[in-house]
Amino acid sequence: MDRTLVILKPSAIARELAGAVISRFERRGLIIQGLKMISLDDEILNEHYAHLVGKPFFPSILRSMKATPVVVMVLAGRDAVNVVRKMTGATNGRAAELGTIRGDFCVSNQENIVHASDSPESASAEIKRFFRPEELFDYQPAKIRTIYADDEV
């Protein structure tokens, strides 16, 4: 099993889409191993979006990500990083394919509903950034044998 980090951004919380987005992950067969609501501050956002700090739109991202609390989640599954990134869709909601979360729920480049880790290395760093070990639960739901074949888990 692999783990990935998802953030339901203020654009999801303010539009009351948290349940709809979480439901998609559950329906797909991803397992929620951690979930909580937190407020983000400049310190954690500067770290999380370090690759964008010099961009002219970075102050706008900071404002956007602090507009409401966010929900952070750890999802588990085989190849969870890739599976969840594909479900998330292209960064710009206007370019995202229909059927993806961004393609179905937004039309903005910035207000794009979710963050999802883009590699196993990022996932590992991001999970540590947002969760303490005791906040994560490494269980297998009873339905696991209906989600994967024996040799997939």
Supply the residues annotated as catalytic.
115
Name the strand (E) or helix (H) holding 143. Answer: none
In sequence order, the 6+-apart residues with CB closer than 8 A to the CB of 89 are 96, 97, 100, 101, 102, 103
Which one, 10 or 34, has the nearer CB to ligand ADP? 10
Reported as type and span, the H/E element at residue 24 is helix 18-28
Residue 48 as a binder of ligand ADP (CB under 6 A): the answer is no
Cβ distance to ligand ADP smaller for residue 78 or 122 = 122
Is 109 one of the binding residues for ligand ADP (CB under 6 A)? yes
In the list 41, 57, 95, 121, the residue contacting ligand ADP (rule: CB under 6 A) is: 57
Q: Is 115 in the site for ligand ADP (CB under 6 A)?
A: yes
